[in-house]
Amino acid sequence: MKLWGGRFTRTTDRLVEDFHSSISFDQRLYRQDIAGSIAHARMLAAVGLITPAEGEAIIKGLEEIRADIEAGRVTFDVGAEDIHINIEKLLTERIGAAGKKLHTARSRNDQVALDLRLYLKEEIPEVKKLLAGLQKVLVDLAAEHLHTIMPGYTHLQKAQPVTLAHHLLAYFEMFYRDQERLDGCLERVDVMPLGAGALAGTTLPIDREMVARELGFKEISANSLDAVADRDFVVEFLAAASLIMMHLSRLAEEIILWSSEEFGFIELDDAYSTGSSMMPQKKNPDVAELVRGKTGRVYGHLMGMLAVLKGLPLAYNKDLQEDKEALFDALDTVKGCLMVFTPMLATAKFRVERMREEAARGFATATDVAEYLVRKGLPFREAHAVVGGLVLHCLEQGKSFQDLTLAEWQSFSPHFAEDVFDCITLEACVQGRDLPGGPSPAAVQQALERARKILAGI
Ligand code: ARG
């Protein structure tokens, strides 16, 4: 007999039983489900809907069930549909009549919304911690490489010299915004839906504020229909997770490029690389590639959840059961990726001479020469054209700027003087970009301090 079987005369088809059951994946919510039920029972006793003795029996029973689940002594029943019914059934089997009162003034619709919110309230800080761990590695590496010059790119073509510290701190900023998005999401998760019942609350005199206090929620939901129908907090988390993955995938891609022989900027530790079953010489950046690849599945969950919610009429619909696998898999994926990415980056060796060598090639200092001419009074557009001519000349002669004589410089513009040689060193180019947010070691030092302060506050 189903817990809801009163109005039914025939049993559920075996196929339907399996099809609509969520216990295989929502058992993951057992702790939150039990915590929610304990708070609910306390409230029911406090307002006199159950006796204090019944309240105590329920709470004790639930705590025992939790211990048994944790000890692996509970086998969940697919026929009992989901974690909510499974636990309620176990409770009634164990404590008898009092167990049947637990669901007073409650529906699985507000219960599942509560469980999911409790779950995210625990998990978001975990993701934040892992993300902060990666940010710490970025900051430590940046401190170490304040003066490591590397080429900066646009269109993956050498553009202007930067420092490795500056490049890495760009990712710090991206992950900082991800942290802020998680904070924002957590704020909206922190709303207590219980009391919404199936959709329209209850006629019984419950105390929603007490339940919110018991469970550590900041506030209670303002509309019972919204409380059971809304999953935008799940979408929000999936969006924040997608952006984390997007940022991770970009860093992953750079690590993959940099560890190629063609770049040779980085060597990954053996512990975070893999080999080939056929080609004995191979050392592959599989971890970074997998992180890049797994980004797709997190995006998929975001799109999937948006599609589930599109056009869904109020209030609860069983479609909403699809929220959990998406959320759980996205959470596992983001956490798993951060867990392995952080030590992979921390143990990587940066080949600073190779970076410098490449920064010195390809006329990465051309803009600096143009700005030299600007300082001598030439309009920028004219300076740009002069330096363009110089680059062409060098390409034709197979020379770099360093190889040019002063006479050659001056044949392109009378503004060039001896001091042009100081302006084309990589150090001058980097140090000269001393604006706030720029790559000069002094500016990056400021950025580092900002980053450290932010990290301390996470
Ligand atoms: N397993 C359901 C879910 O995950 C719980 C709520 C079910 N409510 C209902 N009336 N069928 O959404």
Domain segments of the chain as ranges: 13-104, 109-145+163-353, 358-457
Mean pLDDT across the stretch 260-282?
A: 91
Rounded to the nearest angstrom, the distance between the alpha carbon of 206 and the centre of ligand 1 is: 22
Whole-number average pLDDT of the chain:
96
pLDDT-based confidence at residue 108 (cuts at 50, 70, 90): very high
Q: Whose CA is nearest to atom 2 of ligand 1?
A: 321
The percent of residues in the chain predicted with pLDDT above 70, rounded, is 100
Residue 155 catalytic? yes
Condensed to tens digits (0 to 9), the pLDDT of residues 343-396 reads 999 999 999 999 999 999 989 999 999 999 999 999 999 999 999 999 999 999
pLDDT at residue 276 in the model: 83
For domain 13-104, give the CATH superfamily: Fumarase/aspartase (N-terminal domain) (1.10.275.10)
How many whole angstroms separate alpha carbon 177 and alpha carbon 291? 20
Superfamily per CATH, domain 109-145+163-353: Fumarase/aspartase (Central domain) (1.20.200.10)
Check pLDDT > 90 for residue 275: no
Tokens standing for residue 281: 């010489």
d(CA 156, CA 358): 13
Superfamily for domain range 358-457 = Fumarase/aspartase (C-terminal domain) (1.10.40.30)
Which of 226-235, 271-280, 341-350, 396-405 is least confident?
271-280
Alpha helices (H) along 281-365:
286-309, 323-346, 352-360
Atom of ligand 1 nearest to the CA of 83: 1
Residue with tokens 């204090």: 52
Both tokens assigned to 199:
């959709």
- Answer yes or no: is pLDDT of 236 > 90: yes
Question: Helix (H, G, I), strand (E, B), or coil: what is residue 154?
Answer: strand
| Orientation angle between helical segments 232-258 and 164-189, nearest 10 degrees | 170
Which of 158, 344, 177 lies closest to 252, judged by CA?
344
Average pLDDT over residues 36-63: 98
368-387: b or e for each residue (b if 16 or more CB lie within 10 Å)? bbbbbbeeeebeeeebbbbb
Does residue 157 carry a pLDDT above 80? Answer: yes
> Residues 22, 37, 155, 242: which is the catalytic one?
155
Kindly give the distance from the C-alpha atom of residue 372 to the centroid of ligand 1, in angstroms, as a whole number.
Answer: 69
pLDDT tens-digit readout, 112-127: 999 999 999 999 999 9
